[in-house]
Amino acid sequence: MGAKGSFEISLEERKSIEKLVSLGWTIGAIASSIGRSHSGVKLELKRNGGRHNYNALKAQEAHAAARRARTAHKQKGFTSEQLQIIKEGLDRGDPYTQIMERSGVTIYMLKQYVKRNGIVAKKMNYASFIERIEAIESQIEIILDLIKELSK
């Protein structure tokens, strides 16, 4: 099932995980059964509802949505659907976190969009938006440094 070196879990593997979890198998037994690492199965369950709420189809959809967001981020562009969601959300004055969640874009992508288009949001002016993003970026850098230190 899981090819060595393959990081993406297939729908077939997700269905196996769902079935085996419902049968009460341990994470280690599931991992062995589908040819994946213990940590990979554990992370899959954690990301997608845990042992009690895991759903293979929902997990596959979430993975596909995350993949689309990563692809769009790498391309530095937006899909027409994302643009529509962003524009409507900014027009309504929705919080940026809601816009990001609905559109599947990252904070960095949204920051670039706002910057490129000279948008001033209704609930937060551009300067405070940028300050907030910079604060988040600083926090992320601190967290990454801590992770590096802990992994040594």
| Tokens standing for residue 124 | 């937060």
Q: Which DSSP symbol is given to 122? A: S
- At residue 128, the pLDDT reads 67
Burial class (CB in 10 A: 0-12, 13-18, 19+), 93: exposed
Give the separation between CA 109 and CA 14, rounded to whole angstroms.
Answer: 30
Tell how far CA 57 is from the center of its chain: 16
- At residue 72, the pLDDT reads 57
* Residue at token pair 């937060």: 124
> Where exactly are the structural domains of the chain?
11-64, 77-150
Question: 17 pLDDT exceeds 50?
Answer: yes
Q: Sorting pLDDT into bands at 50, 70 and 90, what band is 92?
A: confident
Span 43-79, pLDDT tens digits: 999 999 999 999 999 999 888 887 776 665 554 567 7
Alpha-carbon distances of 12 from 8, 18, 78, 106, rounded to whole Å: 11, 10, 30, 29
